[in-house]
Structure 1
Amino acid sequence: MTTPESRMRVANRTQVLDLLGRSAPVSRAELARRTGLSRSTVSSIVQELLAAEQIVETTDAAVPRSGGRPPSLLTLSGAPGTLVGVDIGHRHVRVAVADLAAKPLAEHEIRLDADNSPVETIDRAAAMVRECLAEAGIDPKRDRVLGVGMGIPGPVDPHSAVVASPILANWIGLAPGEELASRLSLPVRVENDANLGALAEATYGAARDVEDVIYVKASSGIGAGLVLDGKLHRGITGIAGEIGHVRFEDNGPICRCGNRGCLEKAFGGTRLVELLQPAYEETLSVERLLELAQEGDIRVNRILDDAGRAVGRVLADLCNHLNPALIVVGDTMRHSESFVLGIKDSIDRFTQPDTAAALDVVPSELGDNAGVMGALVIADSASAAQPGTI
């Protein structure tokens, strides 16, 4: 049974390994200073890692002997380490293997109906991870893989890492992180996909150095990830940011979440396609709508403007509560100027004047890669947790 003490030990060990993977050779004293761990804790971890041949010890020859014995320096015995990101969307699986700076070494993507086939989806994701590792020349049995981060398109209970929401009905009761960890024999950390988009934009994208940001994931569905005071905010049951399931129409249709009249049901991409399809002879999709919008189609742009204003109306209430500095519009709807401007118009109309004056709305910089980049962010800390946990 894993105890709090053993989890702390694993976390401290990972912290030391991560620092060594990102630094030139350092002394024990420098490790203690930069990690904040006690010298005795660092010494114990170093002895354990030396015995396991995960690190090596050298002497700093640059220090003159007149100044005393040269300090011993520590470094990893092999490659610095590798991260794995897995982004599972409603209709795709995307995998990336990257170095510690999140520079991709190998990437694969497939189209797949993830909503209706959770076990097949995880099987395919595991196979893709193995393929990417092989393509990058990484052997998990020999090389250091820090961990795997995985995003799924629905809420995950932050206490159990189990899917417990009807938003992803066929995944209810499944612990996707544990499932993937058992297939790969690697530590896995799982998170909601919109949360990963928020982390990615805050780390590498449009929200770099922004402490309070709302990331809006808008395509066939609508959701949001919240970074507040520089930290991801999940809420007590992991559903913070589910703006797509805010009631928008009192007598609207039943939504997949079990409520009725939800914003997503009224203005999600799937609904927009249904509204516009009778006016077109060709078969429409969310992607085709955005192509038509960029071609200047007035009907499509009017609908996308309406959708942006509706989403912006819900976001305005959220902004009045949270007072963020930035809204980042991600996923496919970032391509629609009408949608983004619709959000801006509602923000200007419905937020407090001081809130609106301090707030900007911008499209995502990372685009389709936001989910997998966010997965790489949390992969770095996967080994500090039990496999499959958040």
Structure 2
Amino acid sequence: MNAVQQRGSLTQVELAGVTGLSPATVSNIVKELTGAGVLHTAPTSRSGRRAQQVTLARNLGLVAGVHFGTRSLRVALADVAHRIVAEQRMPLPPDHRADAGLDRAALLLTEMVESLEASMSEVLAVGVGVPAPVDVRTGQVSTLGMLRGWDGVAVPEVLEHRIGVPVHVDNDANLGALAEVRLGAARGHENVLYLRVSHGVGGGLVIGGRLYHGRSGTAGEIGHVTIDENGPICRCGNRGCLETFVGAPVLLGMLQASHGSLTLPDVIARAHDGDPGCRRVISDAGRHLGFAAANVCNLFDPDLVVVGGRLAQAGALLLEPLRTMLEQRTVPSTAGPVEVVASELGAAAEVRGALAVALDRVGIAASMVATG
């Protein structure tokens, strides 16, 4: 069940490889769970050979993923076989407070469920990502000043009261990392650094195939790694954090005098069209990211660095200077420099990670729902 949940679908032969069970044992288990209405099988082919594709049955219920960005809210609904059945995005005011944001999420989620002619009783779990460190043991936003209006808020407690469904919360960059490992650019890798570069800068660490949170949820906060001890004051209270050189407001502020008011997509589009000023701020951002990421790589030695968030849409304009800085500032290795790739899931990475967390928390409970 866990193998099928995590991968969405796979053949019986692949199931045998993943679980270490014999093909005959897998076949017997699949038959039993299909008969109980827990699994669904369909004929397919692999390398020209007939095979049985195994997924979770569609009647087991729904899970929801919620991603609070700095200025937007994204909600997705999926069945327990990872199929997204509804998705919506809405803007949020800057510095929105937790109570207002969670009210909007609860209302939007309820409307989406009803649009599917379902009820909230069919939603088994909700995963939530927020752009701040989270103590996953308590569900509380664990730092002060990083997400104004959310300090110390126990997100699961507040949202569960509104919707009556189990809620599990994590930092959004952690969820992006999880999604890229499970479903995206980092599949097949167990040690991954994920960088999320949008309005702010976040990071997620996957070690041995599992998210690493640290003592209170601040592990991976690369946006608050100091790259200039005399640099600008950051919202976290320190000086010269990476985010004060790479966050979207900083990049847009650099171009205000020469280009007027732009959005980050504007800057990326103009850079692709050859605008030298826009290309320069993106290139500088790549170098700053590489400087900070090199420190993390020297401590952590990941298999792969995945870059996501809106700025990743700049592609090679951002990634090439990042790669160059990593090569210059990481310890030389016989394995060569760490590989750097763009996110495969793009803007959907964090909400897909939130769905994955919800599915993980459902676990074998899905089979209990199906069998009564």
Structure 1 and Structure 2 fold alike (TM over 0.5): yes
Match of 2:185 in 1: 206
Secondary structure of the 1:168 match is coil
Match of 1:331 in 2: 309
Cα distance, 1:80 vs. partner? 1.9
CA distance in 2, matches of 1:269, 1:98: 31
**Does 1:311 pair with 2:289?**
yes
Partner residue of 1:112 out of 92, 95, 98: 92
**Does 1:123 pair with 2:103?**
yes
Secondary structure of the 1:327 match is strand
CA distance in 1, matches of 2:165, 2:272: 43
Task: Give structure 1 stretches of 5+ with no counterpart.
Answer: 1-13, 24-32, 35-54, 58-75, 385-390
Match of 2:74 in 1: 94
Matches within 5 A, 1:225-304: 225-280=204-259, 282-304=260-282
Deviations 1:254-284 (A, max 9, x none): 111111111101222210111111011x411
CA distance in 1, matches of 2:64, 2:205: 23
CA distance in 1, matches of 2:209, 2:59: 30
Match of 1:224 in 2: 203
Task: Give structure 2 stretches of 5+ with no counterpart.
Answer: 11-19, 22-35, 39-55, 364-372
- State whether residues 88 and 114 of structure 1, in contact with CA within 8 Å, keep that contact through their aligned partners in structure 2: no
CA distance in 2, matches of 1:56, 1:214: 38
Match of 1:155 in 2: 133
CA distance in 2, matches of 1:210, 1:250: 34
Secondary structure of the 2:227 match is coil
Code of the aligned partner of 1:344: R
Code of the aligned partner of 1:152: V
CA distance in 1, matches of 2:290, 2:221: 14
- State whether residues 86 and 94 of structure 1, in contact with CA within 8 Å, keep that contact through their aligned partners in structure 2: yes
Secondary structure of the 1:249 match is coil
State, as a whole percentage, how many aligned pairs show the same letter.
Answer: 40
Q: Which has the higher mean CA deviation after the structures are superposed, 300-309 or 183-192?
A: 300-309
Secondary structure of the 1:169 match is coil
Code of the aligned partner of 1:258: G
Match of 1:73 in 2: none
Code of the aligned partner of 1:106: A
- State whether residues 326 and 337 of structure 2, in contact with CA within 8 Å, keep that contact through their aligned partners in structure 1: no
Secondary structure of the 1:191 match is strand
CA distance in 1, matches of 2:227, 2:194: 20
Code of the aligned partner of 2:312: R
Match of 2:42 in 1: none
**TM-score w.r.t. length of structure 2:** 0.80
- State whether residues 154 and 192 of structure 1, in contact with CA within 8 Å, keep that contact through their aligned partners in structure 2: yes
For residues 286 and 77 of structure 1, do their structure 2 counterparts lie closer, same or farther at Cα, with a shift above 3 Å needed?
closer
CA distance in 2, matches of 1:378, 1:77: 19
- State whether residues 82 and 98 of structure 1, in contact with CA within 8 Å, keep that contact through their aligned partners in structure 2: yes
- State whether residues 293 and 300 of structure 1, in contact with CA within 8 Å, keep that contact through their aligned partners in structure 2: yes
CA distance in 1, matches of 2:328, 2:57: 58
CA distance in 2, matches of 1:298, 1:319: 31
Cα distance, 1:101 vs. partner? 2.5
**Does 1:84 pair with 2:61?**
no
Cα distance, 1:383 vs. partner? 4.9
Code of the aligned partner of 2:186: A
Q: Which has the higher mean CA deviation after the structures are superposed, 152-161 or 325-334?
A: 152-161
For residues 300 and 221 of structure 1, do their structure 2 counterparts lie closer, same or farther at Cα, with a shift above 3 Å needed?
same
Match of 1:380 in 2: 359
**Does 1:195 pair with 2:174?**
yes
Deviations 1:341-365 (A, max 9, x none): 1111111111122177152111111
Deviations 1:74-112 (A, max 9, x none): xx9991221111011001100011112321101111010
- State whether residues 98 and 150 of structure 2, in contact with CA within 8 Å, keep that contact through their aligned partners in structure 1: yes
* Higher gyration radius (CA): 1
Cα distance, 1:137 vs. partner? 2.7
For residues 358 and 266 of structure 1, do their structure 2 counterparts lie closer, same or farther at Cα, with a shift above 3 Å needed?
closer
CA distance in 2, matches of 1:115, 1:215: 25
For residues 327 and 355 of structure 1, do their structure 2 counterparts lie closer, same or farther at Cα, with a shift above 3 Å needed?
farther
**TM-score w.r.t. length of structure 1:** 0.77
Q: Please identify runs of 4+ aligned residues in structure 1 that moved more than 6 A.
A: none
Code of the aligned partner of 1:92: S
- State whether residues 114 and 121 of structure 1, in contact with CA within 8 Å, keep that contact through their aligned partners in structure 2: no
* C-alpha RMSD of the superposition: 2.8
Secondary structure of the 2:135 match is coil
- State whether residues 58 and 79 of structure 2, in contact with CA within 8 Å, keep that contact through their aligned partners in structure 1: no
CA distance in 2, matches of 1:95, 1:78: 20
Secondary structure of the 1:190 match is strand
Q: Considering fraction of residues, name the structure with more strand.
A: 2
- State whether residues 233 and 240 of structure 2, in contact with CA within 8 Å, keep that contact through their aligned partners in structure 1: yes
